[in-house]
Amino acid sequence: MVITRQGILATSQTLASQAGAQILARGGSAADAAIAANATLGVVEPMMNGMGGDLFAIEWDAKMGRLTGLNSSGWAPEGLTISLIREKGFGRMPELGIHSVTVPGCVRGWQALHERFGRLPWAELFQPAIDYATHGFPVTEWISTGWRLNKKKLEGNANARRVYLINGRTPAVGQIFRNPEYARALGLVASRGPDAFYRGAIAKAILRTSQRLGGVMTAQDLADFKPEWVKPISTTYRGWRVFELPPNGQGMAALEMLNIMAPFPLGKWGFDDPRSWHVKMEAQKLSYADLGRYRGDPRFAKIPVEAIVSKAYGAERAKTIDMNHAHCHVTPGDPARFGSDTTYLTAVDRQGNIVSMIQSLYAAFGSGVVVDHYGIPLQDRGAGFELNPAHPDALEPHKRPFHTIIPGFMEKGGIHIGFGIMGGLNQSQAHAQFVSNIADYGMNIQQALEAPRFTNYSFGGCHFLIEDREPAAIRAYLIERGNQLEVHSGFSQVVGGGQAVIHDSATGVNYGASDPRKDGAALPEPAPYFKTGPQWPSRPNGATRRQRLR
């Protein structure tokens, strides 16, 4: 872990972590640093996030002892309807192209965080990102690979080809990449504020791009969007209180999964006991069956969140687990009876305030549509909607789609942890595994991130992706009970990469961790030793600096 009395930034790209750490050193808050790091990530990891995507955050106010949630996910354009999608010949929501685009919420999310928790001037937060976009940066290993795997998508859009390919190729490791168009957009947001994106020049460019491609987004769709401050939902697990954000995200599945795991003595069994892995996988199936059935925007549909995250409901679902057999066809439960390609980053400042933030374009490079003249990839979050009008996640105008991106937070006594793990539907199950690593097995946050994980990228079934670093006996046990395992070597991105920070309010010490499955790092804020330490003495008798050094 990184351990310091100063602040810490943990992101998936080291230059972004450094940008946030420098903001902390200039007197910025955790929120200021998170915004600066996120803006920089949009430049240095452009396939994962940026101004064309959405944002969620949890903020811990150390002085007030208060936790606040922010949902800045955009809504569907007024003209984007089920009938329109069907008229276009789609049998399900498209994952590519202009009809998968919803209003980007990211910039309004930055604004909301800055207005409530920021300290530094708004324009200052974007200078690192503008500098890297203007002058370039060397592309890192994981990011270069992700870029290369999406070359075909980039070739399908003229703007994407021009901006994100170099002589028709994706950038190699160490190759300098510049994005002057994106720098221009960042400069407008920095100098003219968020309205530049939602009402000004960038908004007009988004609308021209959409109209040219047959989209239905209007100026009103952009101008009317506002993020929502929300109360985090929570459960307890082994003495820890674990927090997630309410729907339209998937955080409730992480809490339900923990409640299902709670009756089993995982800590006594140990991390390498195959029974622990079996219980967690069965808990994943049960919680995701409910997630698939009950996900949606609570402004439009009744989502039984309180019941789904209740201890009683989790205990009932846990009783269905058979220790000798894997259930491959799990059905949703009835919680009504218990009514009681993403980037994650986290920041802690020296006062102990924490921002747990996640921001995404959804698929790599989002919809594949890049905004005219400004190089902004637009998200494809519309793909999260259902075309069945009876489903709570059915497409409707100005409705927010189901989101996979979730920030996490947990605390016990004076220990406060901001954490998150990326990767689509991987995220809730990865959160539950991370919490269990700490609460059941006593791992520190670096160990908890590095430990082998499993994932299932669907709402059911027995097909799991799993890393090969756990004992082979575990895999044999799981297969024997009916699971199908796809084994990946080493530290695999299929199970997502994460970041975490801790503030210990008793000692004032901060801790940071970064997942080796990403290109990032947890970097400490520089201590102010050059402000308070010894300075060069004045020159005696006109002596030069070289003479003094002799």
What positions carry a catalytic annotation? 342
Q: Quick one: 444 exposed, middle or buried, by C-beta within 10 A (0-12, 13-18, 19+)? A: middle
Q: Dihedral sign for Cα 315, 320, 326, 332, please.
A: negative
Burial annotation 456-478 (CB, 10 A radius, 16+ → b, else e):
bbebbbbebbbbeebeeebbebb
Burial annotation 143-170 (CB, 10 A radius, 16+ → b, else e):
bbebbeebeebbeebebbeebbeeeeeb
For the chain, give the number of residues. Answer: 550
- Please count the other Cβ atoms lying within 10 Å of the Cβ belonging to residue 222: 22
Tokens at 417, concatenated: 């942890």
127 has which bridge partners?
A: none
Q: CB of 330 within 8 A of CB of 295?
A: no
Q: How far is CA 469 from CA 359, 390, 475, in A?
A: 29, 43, 10
502 has which bridge partners?
A: 417, 511
In DSSP notation, 59-127 reads EEETTTTEEEEEEE-----TT--HHHHHHTT-SS--SSSGGG-----HHHHHHHHHHHH--S-GGGGGH
Residue type at 46? Answer: P
- Among candidate residues 112, 103, 406, 100, the one with its CA nearest the CA of residue 257: 406
Q: CB of 355 within 8 A of CB of 31?
A: yes
Q: How far is CA 373 from CA 33, 162, 184, 370, in A?
A: 28, 10, 9, 9
- Among candidate residues 201, 224, 388, 417, the one with its CA nearest the CA of residue 296: 388
SS3 313: helix
Q: How far is CA 430 from CA 21, 230, 306, 332, 354, in A?
A: 27, 23, 21, 20, 21
Q: CB of 407 within 8 A of CB of 417?
A: no
Output phi, psi for 71, to 5 deg: -110, 105
**Alpha carbon distance, N-terminus to C-terminus of the chain:** 40
Residue found by looking up tokens 């990767």 in the block: 423
SS3 494: helix
